[in-house]
Amino acid sequence: MSVTSSPEATAATDTSADAPVTTVATLEPVAEAQASAEAAHGDTHTTTAHAEEHASGGLPQFQTEHWAGQMVWLVIIFLVLFVLIAKVFAPRLRKVIDTRGATIAEDLANARAIRDEAEAQAKDAAAETAAAHVAARKLAADAKAKAAAEQAAAQAKEDARLNAVLAESEASIRAKRDEALSHVTEIATDTASALIEKLTGKAPTKTALTAALKKA
């Protein structure tokens, strides 16, 4: 500690380009002083403060003889990196990112178009189904109506046939009854003539029988 603060040491710390060994040597006592843990912080502080006092001491960064070389190299390295980024890396990355964006946008547009198409198709299918339903219902109703009409026609025909048969039968019965009734006088005449002939032994005349029957 005392060594660092002494004027001799500071003079030695004011190094030039060809005396790097001196710098290390002067810094050595500081390091030793720091062996005690409590003193270490204070020492670092002293060294820094010391460096600020004498621009070229303490912190090695203030040794200006190394500045120019570092600066020149930095500019060279920086420019190399700059040119590579500007001409190679950035365009490549921008291209791939833009391509990705375009691809995603395109895929999305395609997907959207396909979805719209599918929706339209679904709508068409629904419309077709509805139309088919209507047609089927109409067909069923038609069939029903036709069947009913056919049945009604058949029924009417059958009714007509039966009515005709009935009328015919009634007519024939009436004719037969009339015919039978017309024979009644004849049978009665015959019967009466036979009865009289049996009783009297002499056949009555026709006129007498007719008159008698007419009285009866």
Partner 1 sequence: MADPLHQFQIQKVVDLPVIDVAGVPVDLSITNSVLAMLIGVGAVIVFFSLTTARASIIPGRFQVMAEGLFGLIDDLAESIIGHDGRAFFPFVFTLFLFILSCNLVGMTTYFTATSQLAVTAMLAILTIGTVIVVGILRNGLGFFKLFCPSGVPLLILPILIPIEIISFLMRPITLTLRLFGNMVGGHIVMKVFAGFIVALASAGVAGYLGGFVSLTAVVALTALEFLVAYLQAFVFAVLACVYLNDVVNLHHH
92 touches partner 1 by CB under 8 A: yes
Q: Which of 79, 75, 23, 21 is nearest to 50 (CA)?
A: 23
Whole-angstrom Cα distance, residue 191 to residue 18? 188
99 touches partner 1 by CB under 8 A: yes
Q: Which of 54, 58, 36 is nearest to 45 (CA)?
A: 58
Stretch that binds partner 1, among 56-64, 115-123, 128-136, 186-194 (CB under 8 A): 56-64
- The nearest distance, CB 1 to partner 1, in angstroms, is 14
Candidates 11, 49, 71, 125: give the one binding partner 1 (CB under 8 A).
71
Whole-angstrom Cα distance, residue 11 to residue 25? 13
DSSP state of 88: I
**Restricting to residues 102-131, which ones interact with partner 1 according to CB under 8 A?**
103
95 touches partner 1 by CB under 8 A: yes
- Taking each helix axis as running N to C, give the angle between helix 20-33 and helix 37-53, from 0 to 180 degrees, rounded to the nearest 10: 140
- The nearest distance, CB 140 to partner 1, in angstroms, is 58
3-state secondary structure of 58: coil
Candidates 49, 93, 136, 141: give the one binding partner 1 (CB under 8 A).
93
Stretch that binds partner 1, among 74-82, 131-139, 155-163, 201-209 (CB under 8 A): 74-82
Task: Name, in order, each residue with C-beta under 8 angstroms of 4's C-beta and a sequence gap of 6 or more.
Answer: 10, 26, 29, 30, 33, 43, 46, 47, 50
Q: Which is nearer to partner 1, 19 or 188 (CB)?
A: 19
What x/- string results for residues 7 through 36 when contact with partner 1 is judged by CB under 8 A? ----------x--x--xx--xx-xxx-xxx
Whole-angstrom Cα distance, residue 1 to residue 31? 9
Q: What is the dihedral of CA 185, 187, 190, 193, to 10 degrees?
A: -60
How long a stretch of residues is the chain? Answer: 216
Candidates 100, 144, 174, 206: give the one binding partner 1 (CB under 8 A).
100
68 touches partner 1 by CB under 8 A: yes
- The nearest distance, CB 71 to partner 1, in angstroms, is 5
Q: Which residues bind partner 1 (CB under 8 A)?
A: 17, 20, 23-24, 27-28, 30-32, 34-37, 40-41, 44, 47, 58-63, 65-75, 77-78, 80-82, 84-86, 88-90, 92-97, 99-100, 103
